[in-house]
Structure 1
Amino acid sequence: MTQASVLVVVPTTGGPLVLRGLTARPGMPTSAAFAVGDYRPLPWSGDYARLAAEGGPLSRLPGITAGPYELRLSGSFDAGRSWEVPVCLAHGLVARGFRLTPEPSEADLVVWATGAVDLDLAVLAADYALLDKIERSRDLMTEAARADLYVLLPSGPEAAQAERIFRALPRARPSAILPSASIPAALAALVRGTLPTVATAGRRRRAPPAVAAGLVIATALVAILMALDGHPTKERPEAPPALAEVDAVKARPATLPDGGAPPPGVEVEELVAPAGSSCRRVAFGADPPERRAVPSEASGRLRASRLASDLCGLAFRLVRPGARLAVDPALAAAALPPVRLPDGAQAYFLREGSRQNLVYVVQALSEAGVPSASDRLEHALRR
């Protein structure tokens, strides 16, 4: 049976990238990611090494060996975590015998996926700029119009509209929307759905030029009609401009003082290394941190925290059911990927090289993604 070829797309707001190679490299000290033609690891290569390390998130997928791996992409980008979902799916597909191809015209199937994952490979809900990424991917998807298209859309403010766009695309077979709860669930659905493709890999008849041209024209017409239709855009909530990473977590009920104003929707705590321990031990789970509430200094502003050597990070806990947490990208960039504490709070442990003066904003969003002024908190970290 011929291996099915898969084009794995890494959508970005600068345009889509594709995976060009994923190879086990036992001689490398650790897994690394590169842009094609460049010997220098990409800026987020260290995060990829942790993702693919023994005991890391990828080790939870059956059939995945610890590596190290060399990951090659068609281009480069500097930051963000939305590459994690497509890369995890690529690892799972390669482990199951699929062959990566960088050429849209040669693909039996296309995987268009975006999003970040947690330690257990759950897909994190966030505003991933889905509509912008889809628009920038249209030419690539048109080039692969005869391939089966599988899409993973994380939960977020644009997910419903993005799904409508994908379902409306004129393709040989309708786009398949994968489960977005976790990588294992998406991978299982993807493998089940591609069984007919695997059976006919290499024998698929390509579209004649006239049909291909018709698909291009139809795609353009769909884009024009969707642009003229004002209804979907009314359903799109506006995300707060300074907040990019939004993660849905369970909240405990709030208690309001009699006659008082509602408290902020987020509680902020310092995560401090206990006596005799260190932030390194705390960040890697060897010792539990001490949690100290950060008091309010004024309306919408918390008292500044001092960047002492024992301040390991910050924890954010929602106090209203159904709310979602939005964290300033400035803090996210200075911290390790967030982890969930036993009580549901999100912990951001500071990176060793990023302990600089910082002012960030954290905010609780309603279930519809709408912010409230009373739920916006400003907090400073000072040396």
Structure 2
Amino acid sequence: MTPASILVVVPTTGGPVVLRSLRSRPGLPASAAFATGDYRPLPWSGDYARLAASGGPLSHLAAGDAGREAGPYELRLSGSFDAGRSWEVPVCLAHGLVARGHSLTADPEAADLVLWATGAVDLDLAVLPGDYALLDKLARSRDLLAAAARADLAVLLPDGPEAAEAARAFRALGRARPPAILPAADVPAALAALARPAPSPAPAAGRRPALPVALVALLAATALAAGYTVLRARPEADRPVVAVTASIPAEPGPTVAPAPEAAGSAAVVEELAAPAGSSCRRVAFGADPPVRRPVPAEAPGRLRASRLAPDLCGLAFRSAVPGARVAVGPELAAAALPPTGLPDGAQAYFLREGARRNLVYTVQVMTDPTAANAAGTGDRLVHGLVP
């Protein structure tokens, strides 16, 4: 793929955000993300710093990138959002493209290629499947895509309930060239597809020469057949309800007094509900802030069960003990999207639409930082979700 000017879109349920610049900034103590014209790091900048840190997920892109500049990095965007992790895939792709000699542009008319991508990644840069509100994000991106009508379009759609339908919707946009649907397994695979050389037909009059990525669209049928699956929960009768103590370390949050309803507990558990006129999809992807409702205790070591009402979007957890860590049982983690940090340091677990089911899990407060991987330390609470 010859050097190109690329418009990288971070689609959100509040509208598309564009990456304006990405550069090495040795004077920063750590990599940071900023909105254009602002010196204050964005709310999720700490997560970006961990993503780009030495030994972090982005270090997997360093091999073979002779032009890769050393961090820390300064990332500039046209705007921001307060929650969610779906910015991770487009930001990782931008790092890989810039390291390969491409440049970012915020001008739709100047773009050779528009890259529309969403999703969270794991430590190995695998794209995490889930419900990323793809159709809603596409609907809010239509004006921007129309403004870049002359550019080629590449799309990464994580595996999930709307992936196949979103791929069809992108192909139905009526662009001069069909969009390229990139492999959704991991970031390196998507970058390899973008770089794959292929012959291009002669350009039409008044149009830029086609980029090699345009021909990746030929892979779309294979990608859909192999990768796009609808995530469905197993029938409830096939799911045992068990309580298991997990020891998954989370970042320590600020010192917070426990809610009155849960007095005496080292953990604060809150329901995250959709505000009036909103929806759990909008809340989970950062378009609207959740309503936070403390979950009271009903007995020593047990919280009152939360009902799976339509407005219950998820649960938040934080420690009331300085320096303690909170671990959430795997039953809840398996039924939720990857955890998201809230402004007060709490970890939010938003329920997947296809996994709203009766379950019981435990919350473990790890009071001994040196024993963060040992079960049985600290305070344990049992909590359930019921119809």
* TM norm. shorter chain > 0.5: yes
The letter for the 1-side match of 2:345 is S
Q: How does 1:331-370 map to 2 (within 5 A)?
A: 332-333=340-341, 354=345, 370=354
Residue 263 (structure 1) aligned with residue 276 (structure 2): no
- The counterpart of 1:155, out of the listed 156, 159, 164, is 159
Identify the residue that residue 262 of structure 2 maps to in structure 1.
none
Identify the residue that residue 9 of structure 1 maps to in structure 2.
9
Identify the residue that residue 326 of structure 2 maps to in structure 1.
313
Of 58-67 and 146-155, deviating more is 58-67
In 1: Cα distance, 2:336 partner to 2:162 partner: 18
Q: Do the aligned residues in 1 keep the contact of 2:130 with 2:159 (CA within 8 Å)?
A: yes
Residue 325 (structure 1) aligned with residue 334 (structure 2): yes
In 2: Cα distance, 1:306 partner to 1:102 partner: 41
Q: Do the aligned residues in 2 keep the contact of 1:19 with 1:72 (CA within 8 Å)?
A: yes
Of 1-10 and 116-125, deviating more is 1-10
TM-score for both structures, normalised by structure 2: 0.62
TM-score for both structures, normalised by structure 1: 0.62
The letter for the 1-side match of 2:245 is E
1:118 Cα shift? 0.7
1:108-145 deviation digits (Å, cap 9, x = unpaired): 11100001111110111121111110000000111111
Residue 30 (structure 1) aligned with residue 30 (structure 2): yes
The letter for the 2-side match of 1:7 is L
Secondary structure in 1 aligned to 2:196? helix
In 1: Cα distance, 2:305 partner to 2:28 partner: 52
The unaligned stretches of length 5 or more in structure 2 are 209-228, 253-300, 308-316, 366-378, 381-387
Q: Do the aligned residues in 2 keep the contact of 1:279 with 1:311 (CA within 8 Å)?
A: no
Secondary structure in 1 aligned to 2:132? coil
Question: Aligned in 2, Cα 1:375/1:88: closer, same or farther, shift over 3 Å?
Answer: same
Q: How does 1:86-101 map to 2 (within 5 A)?
A: 86-101=90-105
In 1: Cα distance, 2:42 partner to 2:89 partner: 17
Q: Do the aligned residues in 1 keep the contact of 2:184 with 2:190 (CA within 8 Å)?
A: yes
1:314 Cα shift? 2.0
Q: How does 1:116-265 map to 2 (within 5 A)?
A: 116-192=120-196, 206=206, 263-264=240-241
In 2: Cα distance, 1:160 partner to 1:106 partner: 30
1:77 Cα shift? 1.4
Residue 108 (structure 1) aligned with residue 112 (structure 2): yes
Q: Do the aligned residues in 1 keep the contact of 2:116 with 2:154 (CA within 8 Å)?
A: yes
Q: Do the aligned residues in 1 keep the contact of 2:52 with 2:59 (CA within 8 Å)?
A: yes
The unaligned stretches of length 5 or more in structure 1 are 209-235, 238-245, 281-294, 335-350
1:372 Cα shift? 5.5
Q: Do the aligned residues in 2 keep the contact of 1:146 with 1:206 (CA within 8 Å)?
A: no
Number of residues of Structure 1 aligned to a counterpart in Structure 2: 286
Secondary structure in 2 aligned to 1:370? helix
Identify the residue that residue 259 of structure 2 maps to in structure 1.
none
1:288-316 deviation digits (Å, cap 9, x = unpaired): xxxxxxx9778779xx9986668633244
